[in-house]
Copies of this chain bind each other. A is one copy, B any other.
Amino acid sequence: MTVTLADVAARARVSPATVSRVLNGNYPVAASTRERVLRAVDDLDYVLNGPASSLAAATSDLIGILVNDIADPFFGIMAGAAQTEIGGPGDGSGRAGGEKLAIVCNTGGTPERELTYLTLLQRQRAAAVVLTGGAVEDPAHQAAVSAKLAKLADAGTRVVLCGRPPLADNTSVVAALAFDNRGGGRRLTEHLLSLGHRDIGYVAGPVERTTTRHRLEGHRDAMKAVGIVGDEDRLTVHGSYDRRSGYDATVELLRREPGITAVVAANDTVALGATAAIRDRGLRIPEDISVAGFDDLPFSVDVVPALTTVRLPLFEAGARAGRLATGKEAPPPGGIATIAAELMVRGSTAPPRG
């Protein structure tokens, strides 16, 4: 039925062991023999049996990339970059070119699915796992994830965090690349304050997410620094990281306090929704209300007016995570690196009206 190593061996008139060695290239094989084997492989159109090989070798070439929402370019960009670094050239042949298979797993942001995928990856004896994006802050879940990661690390899987804060016990992790969400959030709000805004609404992401909390904290730090306190809760509305949620939250914000002169959104997608809500209300941006986002996704420069936001080097971070996962790059000292966030001032923010 299916062609096996033994079939190839028979055709090349060598032992299965020799075929295996040719394919893996980690043992001296005479050139003439290799030639013969390779021809047999081609002739028979042989494809290695992955499970059998992983079983015997006790490792696999799978690298899992976990993302919260694959439809969100924030994750897509990081995952794509990581995959670019991981995937070898690839020649479509049956030969195993030391190649890794990067696969992305969509957790939908739910803790259960995150754990499920981690287990599944553990089952497959994955070579590495990259977790992207903010973590859920539920202690029980974090403990479960940490335990799982520790077990993976024990089994030889390289664990890399990308855009996610380090674990409490970061020893089972090769490297943690964390975005400076707090700093970015702070600088963004400082920018608004420097323009003269005082009544600033905040459309936050889902509660219990590290990303959400850090960005919000940065915002509040900036507000506190100039003595604006007391109204935080009223001027903050939580929602999910999507456009619809941004729209709804902004409507609510304007209901609570029609006098706000600026809206800071959890991310660019949410900012898009906020923009729509503000316009539907008949207000102009930035004349009546300034809007700012976070992430600097590709479309942000193209909306009108262009969105003031905080640029996160998603591609670079993803690529680095990919290299870390494959061991192409040495981990940063202590296994922890903070990635800077850069303020991008554009047309959607302006001084409030007189």
Contact = CB atoms under 8 A, between A and B. Distances in A.
Nearest to A59: B51
B90 A106 contact: no
A326 to B, nearest CB: 15
A76 B71 contact: yes
Interface in A246-292: 269, 272-273, 275-276, 279
A261 to B, nearest CB: 20
A101 interface: yes
Contacts of A112: 89-92
Contact of A55 (B49, B115, B119, B242): B49
A74 to B, nearest CB: 10
A125 interface: yes
A24 interface: no
Contacts of A243: 298-299, 302
Interface string A108-124: 10001101111110111
A50 B51 contact: yes
Contacts of A48: 123
A177 to B, nearest CB: 18
A84 interface: yes
Given A55-B52, A73-B71, A304-B304, A92 B79 contact: no
Given A55-B51, A83-B70, A106-B83, A117 B91 contact: no
A104 interface: yes
Contacts of A155: 2
A180 to B, nearest CB: 22
Interface in A45-102: 45, 47-55, 60, 64, 69-73, 75-77, 79-80, 83-84, 87, 89-94, 99, 101-102
Contact of A124 (B51, B115, B120): B51
A24 to B, nearest CB: 14
A48 B124 CA distance: 9
B119 A94 contact: yes
Nearest to A274: B302
A83 to B, nearest CB: 5
Contacts of A117: 90, 101
A272 B83 CA distance: 26
Given A50-B51, A51-B60, A275-B302, A79 B101 contact: no
Contact of A80 (B106, B116, B123, B302): B106
A44 interface: no
A228 interface: no
A61 B77 CA distance: 27
A69 B76 CA distance: 8
Interface in A277-321: 279, 298-299, 301-304
B49 A123 contact: yes
Interface of A: 2, 45, 47-55, 60, 64, 69-73, 75-77, 79-80, 83-84, 87, 89-94, 99, 101-106, 108, 112-113, 115-120, 122-125, 144, 151, 155, 242-243, 269, 272-273, 275-276, 279, 298-299, 301-304
Closest 9 pairs (CB-CB, A-B): A90-B116, A103-B103, A51-B54, A92-B115, A50-B123, A71-B76, A51-B55, A51-B51, A71-B80
